Amino acid sequence: MKVLVIGSGAREHALAWKLKQSPHVTELYAAPGSDGMCSVATPVNIKASDLNGLATFARDKKIDLTVVGPEDPLVEGIVDLFQKKHLRIYGPTRKASRLEGSKNFAKDIMSRHGIQTAGHKMYEQPAPALEYLKNCDYPVVLKADGLAAGKGVTIARTYEEAEAAVHEAMVDKRFGSAGRQVLIEDFLVGEEVSVHAISDGHNILPLCLAQDHKPVGEGDTGENTGGMGTYSPLPQINTETIHQLERDVIVQTIHAMNVEGEPFKGTLFAGCMMTKQGPKVLEYNVRFGDPETQSIMLRMQADLYEVLSATIDGELDKVEVNWDPRTAVTIVLASGGYPRSHEKGYKIKGLEWELGPDIQVFHAGTKKVDGDWYTNGGRVLSVSALGADLEDARAKAYAAVDKIHFDKMLYRKDIGFRGLKARR
């Protein structure tokens, strides 16, 4: 079978790495792919935003399965386009993708169907938003309504910080059209978890839980990023709570989309806060998370091609997925200055080392020139490790990180700190 993975980041590298292990997959392409993905997939010089170009390539190459990594093509309707051309593609339709493409839409779905979430208000103009912020309780959370690559969220602890966030989104237009509307929601206290599941519209396959570390600084300080690291499983979340998340969040959301007349087929990823009142949904994503995917793929014991293909065919109940009982830890190495402006072109040393059998390095923003690796993005590498438990996986991952270096390299040294606290 010929498979095309759309995207070029560490998430797509991890998906391609897992798909490559399937005996069904004979040819694997990545569009646009990257130098770092060349060991598992053939790069195709087509941007992820070129939907027609991707469809033409899939038709001409007789691609049997296309897997969409990033959210933008899904929100723009790539699945609808491929389906019209009778091309097999994994992911939700444009309408279903509004769960991620519009936080306003997602909040409406949650409100109509009794899915627990934070109290919220949506504003289309800065003046009324600022007026509301003068009298609300702090801290408060501000979010750009549309896609902002995981960076459109601000936790404001003062009016001044909230005012700056509104101006950044609605006046300075840092996030472009994504910031035309701003969501202001109550700050929830608790522990955040990433809940992934695959659905064919009726059947649901829960994936293992992971926990992301979004703020750039240790101890969850500093600006929000696309994610600085993950681990899975979570020792602080028991089986009963996992079942509650699956029942009250995933099943309820899939049911809601069916009631709304837009069945959800693909990966549903709910970011949830574990509050004293129970789990509450922070936001939805309609694709695999990054960097959660890197940890999830390490633990998955199944043929990913069979799982995704069965989802398209509405036969998800016919596949079985087991999970490696060991712990996976992923540490993101980023460029100095991330998530804001950062420099590229620094030489990366250490990728030539033998890092160990339980280590996988997934490339996000790298480039190879004359045999040497260089930084080429904000998030540069994801270093993932499997260990007997959280302590062992962390030790392996950080030992591998110690062998890698580039100027102004930025990473968090406390990935998994909440899990460590729970174990202790």
Residue 256's closest CA among 111, 109, 116? 109
pLDDT at site 181: 86
- Residues 299-313 have pLDDT tens digits of 999 999 999 999 999
Query: For 189-323, CATH number?
Result: 3.30.470.20
- The pLDDT-based confidence of 146 (bands split at 50, 70, 90) is confident
Q: Has residue 174 got a pLDDT over 90?
A: no
Per-residue pLDDT, averaged over 212-216, amounts to: 94
Cα separation, 93 vs 338, whole angstroms: 32
CB 113 within 8 A of CB 259: yes
CB 412 within 8 A of CB 213: yes
Sign of the dihedral through C-alpha 264, 231, 324, 244: negative
pLDDT at site 357: 87
Q: How far is CA 400 from the centre of its chain?
A: 23
pLDDT at site 145: 83
- Residues 31-50 have pLDDT tens digits of 999 999 999 999 999 999 99
Cα separation, 203 vs 319, whole angstroms: 11
Cα separation, 152 vs 182, whole angstroms: 10
Per-residue pLDDT, averaged over 338-347, amounts to: 93
User: Quick one: tokens of 55?
Assistant: 């469809």
The answer regarding whether domain 2-91 maps to CATH 3.30.70.100 reads no
Cα separation, 147 vs 168, whole angstroms: 15
How many beta carbons lie within 10 A of that of residue 420, not counting itself? 16
- The pLDDT-based confidence of 198 (bands split at 50, 70, 90) is very high
Global pTM value = 0.94
pLDDT at site 177: 81
How far is residue 133 from each of residues 107, 146, 287, measured CA to CA in Å? 20, 21, 32
Per-residue pLDDT, averaged over 110-128, amounts to: 91
Q: Half-sphere exposure of residue 388, counting CA atoms within 13 Å on the CB side?
A: 1
Fold of domain 327-423: Glycinamide Ribonucleotide Synthetase; Chain A, domain 4 (3.90.600)
pLDDT at site 144: 87
Q: Has residue 88 got a pLDDT over 70?
A: yes
pLDDT at site 150: 66
Instruction: Show contacts of 72-77: CB within 8 Å, 24+ apart.
Output: 72/48, 72/147, 73/6, 73/48, 73/49, 74/100, 74/266, 74/286, 74/287, 75/100, 75/101, 75/147, 75/286, 76/49, 76/51, 77/51
Which H or E element spans position 398?
helix 390-401
Per-residue pLDDT, averaged over 26-34, amounts to: 98
Domain residue ranges in the chain: 2-91, 125-180, 189-323, 327-423
Q: Half-sphere exposure of residue 174, counting CA atoms within 13 Å on the CB side?
A: 19
Query: For 125-180, CATH number?
Result: 3.30.1490.20
Per-residue pLDDT, averaged over 379-403, amounts to: 97
